[in-house]
Structure 1
């Protein structure tokens, strides 16, 4: 399990052992953390962003070089890159709502909508899925570091989906560590060839962790279907944001399926498969 506080200087090996390191991802560290040259190079090569979090849970971003926070931190909302107070505008009439009633919530930084709005319902499903993903992470404490870092990537990407939906910004496809979405998709469609086991159907013989991962995979598939319903217009086309989210969730379910297969391989004593896959990616 990742310690609550990181060392002052973080090495490349420490990053690989304690964090998901997918390309374009983000990691959270306490202010004051520094990096060895090789750790800094790894973060830069994979375009991994840094968000700083203090002991009270407050989030900060660096206003200069994000790999060093020395005196240049700006507090931000946990979901955003700013701390701007939202406006209370009615989405229908653009009028200011003096006092927000309980039945309304913010669709974005400006507009209020009823809590029955389809996008608000999607956010609720995302919140539940993220919460369950954290439970799966906790259940995987005894798994190899590589698999736990993969789960960190999955949890991180679910947060990226939520941010993309709330902030209406582009969402790249997910990866796991050094493996991109295309590789994971190929593995998930032919697991016998790439992962040493045929397609897995729900079965108690695979154990609790595989069962929990499979349930998480199912929740992500439900999210994909709900997102399709939310963003599909009358001409059966998805908006650009909808295309990103639906495609991302589709590939994320494949990523979880790959982790399921790898957990099973480790349970039956075939941990060397993880090393073989990593060597093949380098």
Structure 2
């Protein structure tokens, strides 16, 4: 989200512009922020968790507790401080993947694969997480460069950033990963746009070229980073004991999700170029679902 004054009441349009509204996602706002009924309904429908972040960067979640009242117990909520990168304050255990024993002091050459197991930092899944970290960081830089682009494109970029975080969450926790969306548009729809952009978006395929300018170049580099992530994920999760023709891929959801995400970035790249050249009528069509 941009570093600007957040309105006291968050609207549905504000949520769509500044946050990724993926199913089961998470957003962070200042404590005391309230939502319009339509915004609250959107959060409920998408099952999006709201975490609260104060001016010191401390993160809080709402927890339910029972309060004694004159005529019995009433349920209310309060804010509980949690680790900024987690949803709880549980300290991970240090079980070594190599020897199976507990480790009193975590060595510098090892890190947590999850809350239970330590692995060497050369573990393939740790390499994948490092690539994800770099990709997320660059995605945020691109978001900063797009602050003056149309709201629809800003919302699309928020969806892309949110999905990268969801990939990391799914890889760490083992949760299933759905396919990405751009706003209300499904992965299949975005995939069709990317394969025939002239038909659906009014501009043909683009190759890297200085004539398109800095923003398009940044978006294209982000697309390339996502493609690189897809290749790394394939290397990490492929089952070499099976024939490739049999589809021996563990976590095919992550590999497939990255494949579709690169298409989404490519679509945003084409739309950004059109907007820079005053050919943004296609955005109006997308906003009204007529693309």
Asked if TM exceeds 0.5, the reply is yes
Give the match for residue 266 of structure 2: 257
Contact conserved, 1:22 with 1:176, CA < 8 A, in 2?
no
Give the match for residue 18 of structure 2: 18
Distance 1:81 1:11 in 2: 25
Give the match for residue 99 of structure 1: 105
Contact conserved, 1:217 with 1:257, CA < 8 A, in 2?
yes
For residue 226 of structure 1, the aligned residue among 199, 222, 232 is: 232
How many residues align? The count is 275
Distance 1:95 1:24 in 2: 35
Secondary structure, counterpart of 1:112 in structure 2: strand
Contact conserved, 1:185 with 1:251, CA < 8 A, in 2?
yes
Secondary structure, counterpart of 2:105 in structure 1: coil
**Is it true that 1:167 corresponds to 2:173 in the alignment?**
yes
**Is it true that 1:115 corresponds to 2:121 in the alignment?**
yes
Contact conserved, 1:61 with 1:73, CA < 8 A, in 2?
yes
Distance 2:181 2:25 in 1: 9
Give the match for residue 67 of structure 1: none
For residue 209 of structure 2, the aligned residue among 203, 206, 211 is: 203
TM superposition shift of 1:13: 2.9
Counterparts in 2 of 1:138 and 1:128: CA distance versus 1, 3 Å:
same
Distance 1:100 1:30 in 2: 35
Distance 1:122 1:81 in 2: 22
Instruction: Work out which of the two has the higher radius of gyration on C-alpha atoms and give 1 or 2.
Output: 2
Give the match for residue 86 of structure 1: 92
Contact conserved, 1:227 with 1:245, CA < 8 A, in 2?
yes
TM superposition shift of 1:265: 1.1
Contact conserved, 1:191 with 1:197, CA < 8 A, in 2?
yes
Query: Going by fraction, where is strand more abundant, 1 or 2?
Result: 2
**Is it true that 1:271 corresponds to 2:280 in the alignment?**
yes
Secondary structure, counterpart of 1:7 in structure 2: coil
Distance 1:244 1:75 in 2: 33
Q: Write the deviation string for residues 88-130 of structure 1: whole angstroms up to 9, x where unpaired.
A: 1111222111111111111110111111111111111111111
TM superposition shift of 1:170: 1.3
Give the match for residue 249 of structure 2: 238
Distance 1:197 1:232 in 2: 36
Counterparts in 2 of 1:248 and 1:76: CA distance versus 1, 3 Å:
farther
Q: Which runs of 5+ in 1 are unaligned?
A: 65-69
Distance 1:136 1:13 in 2: 21
Distance 2:213 2:140 in 1: 18
TM score, norm. by length of structure 2: 0.88
Counterparts in 2 of 1:217 and 1:53: CA distance versus 1, 3 Å:
same
TM superposition shift of 1:169: 1.4
TM superposition shift of 1:76: 3.1
Q: Which runs of 5+ in 2 are unaligned?
A: 65-75
